[in-house]
Amino acid sequence: MEYPAYLQEIDKAADATGGKVVSLAGGYFGVQLVADGANVVLALDLDSDQGWVAWREDQWGEQCCDSAEEVLGDCPLGELRSRALEAVAAHAHA
Ligand SMILES: [Zn+2]
């Protein structure tokens, strides 16, 4: 995916999910959703075929753990919010 198309996709995802675009490390962007007092971040993986990934982070932007990223894969924008919240809710800590 070209970078401009990537940015467009992030914008569309923010619109579709009611989230806001946040900047991540390395020129990447994500979409931040606030749900049940927790921040959930959606990101599109440009380097692999993983598609969308989602994780929960604290108020300082730290991921909850080292294996925080849950893979959503290819996901229609309309389902992105519910899929992300589901995946993050299913994310468990041993
Ligand atoms: Zn975790």
The Cα–Cα gap between 13 and 10 comes to 5
- Residue 40 — left, alpha, or beta (φ > 0 → left; ψ -120 to 50 → alpha)? beta
Global pTM reads 0.89
How many whole angstroms from 88 Cα to the centroid of ligand 1? 9
- Return the H-helix or E-strand segment holding 83: helix 77-90
> Hey, where are the domains in the chain?
3-90
* pLDDT level of residue 26 (50, 70, 90 thresholds): confident
> Per-residue confidence at 44, pLDDT binned at 50, 70, 90?
very high
The tens digit of pLDDT for each residue in 58-93 reads 888 889 999 999 999 999 999 999 999 999 999 988
Task: For residue 16, report the distance from its CA to the centre of ligand 1, in Å.
Answer: 25
Can you list the alpha helix ranges (DSSP code H) found in 1-94? 3-17, 77-90
CA of 38 to the centre of ligand 1 (A): 12
Q: How far is the CA of 15 from the centre of ligand 1 (A)?
A: 26
The tokens describing 81, both together, are: 């919010």
* Confidence label for 4 from pLDDT (cuts 50, 70 and 90): very high
Contact by Cβ (8 Å): 40, 33? yes
